Amino acid sequence: MAFLRDKESYRYSTSLFLRGLALVYFIAFASLIPQIAGLIGSNGILPASGYLTAVGMQFGSERYVVLPTVFWFNSSDAFLRVVCWVGAGLAAVFFMGIAPLPILVLLWILYLSIANVGQDFLLFQWDALLLEAGFAAILLVPHAWRRIGPEQPPLAARYVFQFLIFRLMLESGLVKLLSGDKTWRDLTALNFHYETQPLPTPLAWYAHHLPAAFHKASVIGMFAVELLVPFLFWMPRRFRIIGAWITIAFQIAIAATGNYTFFNLLTIVLCIPLLDDRHLRRLIPWLKPGLEKPSARHPVVTVFAVLLISVGIFQLIETVSASNISLPGIAWLDNLAETWNVVNRYGLFAVMTTSRPEIIVEGSNDGEHWREYEFRFKAGDPYRAPRWVAPYQPRLDWQMWFAALSYRNAPWFQQFAVHLLEGSPDVLRLLRSNPFPDQPPTLIRANVYDYHFTDSETRRSTGGWWTRQYLGEYLPPVSLKQ
């Protein structure tokens, strides 16, 4: 492989990548600080303490292996918040290059701990990707207490990251083809995507109204970037760099029309190891060549790299074959890797959503007059513009999008309704407004509406961004007395 024969320096490249990873870790932890109590606190929608109790009763002494998390020792609201604050603080310290190895290990342990008790609210692909990238990054950092990037990174570690970005992009394209979804096959997926994606940006309204021919051309370009460009990562230096920049530009384009939290930023950061120091010096002239110091950790890194790559190859083959492969040893490693989130499967929007049902939650005290709960970022008021929110992730708003697609009560939704009836402050802080500031309502209901972007004429005349039409009942009126 051209990458393996590469004799270029990657000191600055590695340093830039690690600081980019530190930034993503900081965003991930910091964005959970205002949400963690309402999502999984003791008075939250899906309490972590109750989940841990259930897992402990089912698995007994094996619970620590089945669900690795520091919250086995303390799952109080205060400790949940402390972990988020400590994680954000450690990410900031790591960004400054202090004690990179122990801090990176701690960051991975803390985020894994949160992800494993987050239940429905931390099951997103970017959470898994951050954990996989964070674990693999441990192979890159030196042992010194304050040295990020002073030595040439181990070749095997760079190879792990080359394969990670290759799998991420290739699997993203493969799942669309292998799903058999008609809209991807006939190139009409983007006719729907900008309007039906979870949290569109204001630019999505304009993108949605572009000509159909442009949307078809964009789908062809998307398949080229996800299915062909990843193979440039394996080619000689110039092609590899071109592939990296195409992928970076692709992620910026996605981020312009959709709020995908820190996913696009993390993917861009994962492209950095494909760029060598000679290329970076062309972009940043004040970077100077330095003496290379060989790493004494190459043998250890190589063993871990081989294991991670072997599992990744196994998963990629399963994705292509669309069936389970009988390789007991690798299958066991695959299960272990998934438990610890060190190698994961990827692929968003395998099946394109062609409509946008939205759940509107309302409360009442008499069953006749209903007031609407407004969420912070998801579509609600038709006259409220889509908002820019990434890289922050409003996790309740995201799950409301998934719940609407099922058109039946999501397992957590009834608990959400109960907390609204109780007037839980932690849960109410997840919302944009509370229509019952004095005391909670006696009834809660939820209806489903079909949302569409307005056309240009309607937008000019009314100022509305959305039109909506009633579809049906999602949750009938419920009260605490039932």
227 and 312 share one domain: yes
323 and 387 share one domain: no
367 and 440 share one domain: yes
| Nearest CA among 478, 476, 472 for reference residue 407 | 472
| Nearest CA among 84, 146, 85 for reference residue 113 | 84
257 and 296 share one domain: yes
End-of-domain residue from the set 286, 308, 339: 339
Whether 322 maps to a domain, the answer reads: yes
Q: Within a 10 A sphere around the Cβ of 212, how many other Cβ atoms?
A: 11
Whether 105 maps to a domain, the answer reads: yes
Whether 54 maps to a domain, the answer reads: yes
pTM of the predicted model as reported, rounded to 2 decimal places: 0.94
| Nearest CA among 147, 135, 148 for reference residue 312 | 135
92 and 133 share one domain: yes
Whether 414 maps to a domain, the answer reads: yes
- From edge to edge, which strands make up the β-sheet containing 357-364? 370-372, 357-364, 443-453, 466-478
Q: Which amino acid is at 150?
A: P
298 and 218 share one domain: yes
Name the pLDDT band for 153 (thresholds 50, 70, 90). confident
Cβ atoms of 43 and 427 closer than 8 Å: yes
Q: Does residue 33 have a pLDDT over 80? A: yes
Name the pLDDT band for 3 (thresholds 50, 70, 90). very low
Residue with tokens 């919302």: 431
Q: Which amino acid is at 110?
A: L
Across the chain, mean pLDDT equals 92
Name which of 236-240, 312-316, 389-393, 459-463 the model is least confident about: 312-316
331 and 361 share one domain: no
Whether 406 maps to a domain, the answer reads: yes
88 and 225 share one domain: yes
Reported as a single tens digit per residue, the pLDDT across 159-207 is: 999 999 999 999 999 999 999 999 999 999 999 999 999 999 999 999 9
313 and 367 share one domain: no
Structure token digits, residue 465: 């961004």
| Nearest CA among 312, 347, 309, 303 for reference residue 172 | 347
Whether 210 maps to a domain, the answer reads: yes
End-of-domain residue from the set 339, 370, 403: 339
252 and 318 share one domain: yes
Query: CA 251, 254, 258 angle in degrees (round to 5)?
Result: 135
C-alpha–C-alpha distance, residues 83 and 78, integer Å: 9
Gyration radius of the chain over CA positions? 24
Q: Which amino acid is at 113?
A: S
Instruction: Output the pLDDT for position 299.
Output: 82
Q: Which amino acid is at 65?
A: V
Name which of 6-10, 135-139, 432-436 the model is least confident about: 6-10
Q: Which residues touch 32 (CB under 8 Å, ≥6 apart)?
A: 84, 114
Name the pLDDT band for 106 (thresholds 50, 70, 90). very high
End-of-domain residue from the set 339, 371, 405: 339
State the total domains in the chain. Answer: 2
Instruction: Output the pLDDT for position 291.
Output: 47
Mean pLDDT of 447-476: 96
Q: Which amino acid is at 389?
A: V
Whether 270 maps to a domain, the answer reads: yes
288 and 236 share one domain: yes
219 and 331 share one domain: yes
Structure token digits, residue 166: 């290759």
Name the pLDDT band for 407 (thresholds 50, 70, 90). low
Q: Which residues touch 300 (CB under 8 Å, ≥6 apart)?
A: none
* Percent over 70 (pLDDT), the chain: 92
Range of the structural domain that residue 39 is part of: 2-339
Whether 372 maps to a domain, the answer reads: yes
Cis peptide upstream of residue 391 (ω within 30 degrees of 0): yes
Any bridge partners for residue 363, and if so which?
A: 371, 444
Name the pLDDT band for 9 (thresholds 50, 70, 90). confident
| Nearest CA among 398, 353, 395 for reference residue 379 | 398
